[in-house]
């Protein structure tokens, strides 16, 4: 019988790369906590209607890419694995009356999303996002703040070759006028557009600007710019956002073709790209969505946010550095029935005292265990054999200096603070 393999578009995140993920999550959590963002954990699946209303039935995400099925309720309900995070966060905001506290809600989330699309490097059918939402503020400072925080996270992780593309898609009135102008421009070229763009011409013409087809891109290059169709309020908001970014020292490039792929965007739209990622250059994307809360049944509430694609981000980090290693204080080596029993108890007591300890469970010869100790990255090795077991001692060997000493097992725990200081000193020196 053959082995069972992972489905196309899914992959295992293996132990040798989990360190990258943990490092991203830890740095993001630290930066977001400092900025007063609170974590939320919505369900992975929702009613299909949430995404049809929230994202837009005319989008590729809803029309072609969602994992949708009927559950076992009577009558059956249409359920969808979440293809993105914002709609679920907004649903939770409304359903749980998070607005009742008043003021602005700063929220962040992370977790898996699902879209049925062609797998490629950095793009899977099950993928992961880290996202933020600022709900309840129409202030341009909110737009600038979320962009600044995304930039902080990416730079703290060590990324430098980053570019910010910035646009405004205006309010619904601006977009309607632009839509008419865009359709008028594109219609004479309909037969030259790629098949998807021909379908979008009547359903969602702004998405044609995102086409990867070479001929469609050539045609779209001379299309009207949405920036020429912004009303006075939209222009004022966008000018303030640009000025605030300049004040923060964040450079940007205007990109009137940047419209993002979801219907709920209004005003500011942006993407952060990396020069080190090839064709799939976008690592973070987002914008303002002032109509989404109302569309999903809440009161009229402005909001802005972004999402970072973690698979693409991890690809970048793997190009730049080795995975962060788990800091290990002790590696415990033992041989012999009594010694192995004592080693287990000693390792557990040290863990309870706050040390990071790996216990060798192989039962192999001391030589092989010592080699694993050297490869483990531990600061020190604790050795128990028949003699140590009989005398209730342990041999403490500092792996870098090779110095060693015999210590009573009871004394080892009493010296915990001294050992902690010695370990910290060695780790800092490294």
- For 143-168, the pLDDT digits (tens) are 999 999 999 999 999 888 899 999 99
Range with the largest mean pLDDT of 101-105, 117-121, 179-183, 364-368: 364-368
161 phi and psi angles, rounded to 5 deg = -85, 65
Least confident of 247-256, 261-270, 306-315: 261-270
Position 261 confidence tier, pLDDT thresholds 50, 70, 90: low
* Residue 425 resides in a domain: yes
* Residue 207 resides in a domain: no
Whether 64 and 167 share a structural domain: yes
- Residue 139 contacts by C-beta under 8 Å, 6 or more apart in sequence? none
Q: What is the reported pLDDT for 66?
A: 94
Q: What is the reported pLDDT for 280?
A: 55
Position 430 confidence tier, pLDDT thresholds 50, 70, 90: low
Final residue before a domain boundary, out of 279, 297, 320? 320
Exposed, middle or buried, 184 (CB in 10 Å: 0-12/13-18/19+)?
A: exposed
- For 370-385, the pLDDT digits (tens) are 999 999 989 999 999 9
* Residue 210 resides in a domain: no
* Residue 217 resides in a domain: no
Least confident of 44-58, 289-303, 362-376: 44-58
CATH number for the domain harbouring residue 62: 3.30.930.10
Final residue before a domain boundary, out of 292, 320, 348? 320
* Residue 198 resides in a domain: no
Whether 364 and 383 share a structural domain: yes
CB atoms within 10 A of CB 134: 24
Element (H, E) at 209: none
Whether 73 and 26 share a structural domain: yes
Whether 112 and 42 share a structural domain: yes
Residue 61 in contact with residue 97, Cβ under 8 Å?
no
67: left (phi over 0), alpha (psi -120 to 50) or beta: beta
Position 206 confidence tier, pLDDT thresholds 50, 70, 90: confident
Whether 286 and 417 share a structural domain: no
- The whole-angstrom separation of Cα 355 and Cα 7 is 39
Whether 139 and 261 share a structural domain: yes
Share the mean pLDDT of the chain.
91
Residue scoring higher pLDDT (59 or 3): 3
- For 4-30, the pLDDT digits (tens) are 999 999 999 998 899 999 999 999 999
* Residue 52 resides in a domain: yes
Residue scoring higher pLDDT (333 or 276): 333
CATH number for the domain harbouring residue 337: 3.40.50.800
Q: Please state the domain count of the chain.
A: 2
Domain that holds residue 31: 15-171+231-320
Final residue before a domain boundary, out of 298, 320, 342? 320
- For 87-119, the pLDDT digits (tens) are 999 999 999 999 988 889 999 999 999 999 888
* Residue 128 resides in a domain: yes
Whether 337 and 246 share a structural domain: no
Whether 264 and 164 share a structural domain: yes
Q: What is the reported pLDDT for 278?
A: 61
Strands 266-274 and 330-334: unpaired
Whether 29 and 160 share a structural domain: yes
Between helices 195-203 and 172-186, what is the axis angle to 10°? 140
Whether 311 and 373 share a structural domain: no
Range with the largest mean pLDDT of 48-57, 261-270, 387-396: 387-396
Whether 315 and 351 share a structural domain: no
Whether 250 and 364 share a structural domain: no
Least confident of 32-46, 135-149, 246-260: 246-260
The pLDDT of 168-182, averaged and rounded, is 91
* Residue 77 resides in a domain: yes
């Amino acid at each position: 019988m053959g082995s069972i393999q992972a489905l196309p578009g899914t992959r295992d995140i293996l132990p040798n790369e989990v360190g990258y993920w943990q490092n991203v999550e830890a740095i993001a959590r630290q930066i977001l906590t400092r900025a007063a963002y609170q974590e939320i954990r919505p369900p992975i699946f929702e009613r299909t209607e949430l995404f049809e209303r929230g994202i837009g039935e005319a989008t590729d995400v809803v029309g072609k890419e969602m994992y949708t099925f009927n559950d076992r309720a009577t009558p059956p309900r249409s359920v969808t694995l979440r293809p993105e995070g914002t709609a679920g966060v907004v649903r939770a905001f409304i359903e749980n009356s998070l607005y009742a506290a008043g003021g602005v809600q700063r929220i962040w989330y992370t977790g898996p999303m699902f879209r049925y699309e062609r797998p490629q490097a950095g793009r899977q059918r099950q993928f992961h996002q880290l996202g933020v939402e600022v709900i309840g503020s129409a202030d341009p400072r909110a737009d600038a703040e979320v962009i600044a925080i995304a930039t902080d996270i990416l730079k703290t992780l060590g990324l430098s070759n980053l570019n910010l593309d910035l646009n405004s898609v205006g309010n619904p009135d601006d977009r309607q006028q632009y839509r008419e102008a865009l359709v008028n421009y594109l219609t004479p070229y309909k037969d030259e557009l790629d098949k998807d763009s021909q379908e979008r011409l009547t359903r969602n013409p702004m998405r044609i600007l995102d086409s990867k087809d070479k001929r469609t891109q050539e045609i779209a290059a001379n299309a009207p710019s949405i920036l020429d169709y912004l009303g006075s309020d939209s222009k004022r908001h966008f000018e303030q956002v640009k000025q605030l970014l300049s004040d923060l020292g964040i450079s940007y490039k205007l990109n009137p073709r940047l419209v993002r792929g979801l219907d709920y965007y209004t005003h500011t739209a942006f993407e952060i790209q990396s020069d080190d990622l090839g064709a799939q250059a976008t690592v973070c994307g987002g914008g303002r969505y002032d109509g989404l809360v109302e569309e999903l049944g809440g009161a009229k509430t402005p909001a802005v946010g972004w999402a970072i694609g973690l698979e693409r981000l991890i690809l970048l980090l793997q190009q730049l550095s080795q995975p962060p290693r788990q800091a290990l204080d002790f590696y415990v080596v033992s041989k012999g029935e009594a010694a192995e029993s004592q080693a287990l108890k000693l390792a557990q007591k040290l863990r309870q005292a706050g040390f990071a300890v790996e216990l060798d469970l192989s039962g192999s010869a001391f030589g092989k265990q010592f080699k694993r100790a050297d490869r483990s990255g531990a600061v020190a090795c604790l050795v128990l054999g028949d003699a140590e077991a009989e005398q209730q001692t342990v041999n403490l060997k500092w792996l870098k200096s090779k110095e060693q000493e015999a210590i009573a097992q009871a004394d080892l725990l009493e010296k915990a603070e001294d050992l902690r200081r010695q370990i910290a000193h060695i780790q800092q020196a490294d």
